[in-house]
Amino acid sequence: MSEEAQLAPLAPVPASESNAGESNVGDSGLGGFDASASSHEPAEAFAAPALLSSYRAHDSLFSSSHTQLHARGVLQPLTRASDDDLAGASERLLAQVAAEAGRLPLLGAVPFEGGQPARLWVPAQAAFAAGRARHRGAVHGEARHADRIEPNVQPVPAPAQFKRNVERSLQRIHDGGLRKVVMSRSLRIDARVEVAQLLAQLLARAPSAYTFAMDLAGAGGPAACLIGSSPELLLSKRGARIVSNPLAGSIPRSADPHEDRRRAEGLLQSAKDLHEHALVIEDVAAALRPFCRELQVPAAPSLLATPTMWHLSTRVDGVLRDPATSSLRLALALHPTPAVCGYPTEPARRTIRELEGYDRGLFTGLVGWCDSEGDGEWAVTIRCALVEEHRATVFAGAGIVAGSQPEAELAETTAKLRTMLGAMGLAHVAEAEGRA
């Protein structure tokens, strides 16, 4: 589509019903497929650049196996806190934009803490592509970080303090009133990270993940990009149908195939991890049930593999009573799940505030998009980094329940940090900091 071409209306649809094409809304210039082509033509019929090919500095992207969204510029920011009727404000904003500028989506991220401002916005330009139109430019091969010297790394909290936090969490669980809490840690790395290169690495390494790069400056945030590759779907909605796919209970993968399979099979039999997973699924089902006339919750979890971890996974499917309910409203009803906070929620949140030693910000919040019909996808903001001009901060957490071991939980966070550090060419940093 040339820059002078008439732009098609926004119409993100399920991959099973769509072509592999891209449709554009707003000003032209994002490039992409001719959205006027027949929806029954095969993907091979389209020969225009995919979304990553058009990416440039300060753009934003969200990619899943169903949909890719590429956005540029800010038409209208939305920085209300989730505790301050963020869902209602988003619905009113999308309705206003639809009446004045067309069906542009809302995208961005919502923080872990309900009282902190969201970083959401309606972009000036947006292009959607169906799931079969995967990003060109995603590259395999060794990742390299931009700086030639070894970067300075500040762990917050330090590994020894993280293990003490786990011990204190276990004591609170033993004392009663708390059944699970998620303890996390971060690494602040003084290094220049090229967002476009990192994004390409993430898409290549985990193409089925929820990969995102959200430029925060235009939505009242810092001059930084929130970038990551989350394995966990908080909530997706298409029409009346919704899906949530919580993950809880994890073990690091092994390079040895036999050991890797042994770990996976052991995770499926682990009483500790099955208990942790059940707490999350019960809470997610309870939150969604008031919105749904049908809700399907499998009796037992399955395994989900990422390049670095095995997870216990349960896909929850539902049919809404009111199809107009927005995906963001539903996602906020779930947030924070016990997978990233704990159970019960408020005692877990208090424990996190008292023990963790840093502000999570957008980590363990939600990231994604929603359109004026309420359709959208929201992932849990994990396996991510906040990339600034000369610094990158990476994050990882682990669920603490009765039976957790501090050393094992530290090892789990180290394995999770490898997702981002490996894509940055800094995988050795995780190992070094995990031994500190």
Residue 232 appears among annotated catalytic residues: yes
Residues 6 or more apart in contact with residue 331 via CB below 8 angstroms: 110, 234, 235, 366, 368, 378
Q: Give yes or no for a contact between 340 and 380, defined as CB atoms under 8 angstroms apart.
A: yes
Q: Give yes or no for a contact between 364 and 381, defined as CB atoms under 8 angstroms apart.
A: yes
Distance of alpha carbon 406 from alpha carbon 169, whole angstroms = 10
Residue 180 appears among annotated catalytic residues: yes
Name the active-site residue from 113, 180, 409, 433: 180
**What is the torsional sign of CA 361, 362, 365, 370?**
positive
Tally of residues, the chain:
436
Name the active-site residue from 22, 91, 113, 232: 232
E strands, 315-390, where?
A: 316-320, 342-343, 366-370, 376-380, 384-387
Distance of alpha carbon 92 from alpha carbon 372, whole angstroms = 9
Q: Specify the 3-state DSSP secondary structure of 185.
A: strand
Distance of alpha carbon 44 from alpha carbon 30, whole angstroms = 21
Which residue has 């209602």 as its token pair?
88
Nearest-5° angle of CA 241, CA 243, CA 247?
175
Distance of alpha carbon 395 from alpha carbon 183, whole angstroms = 11
Active site residues: 180, 232
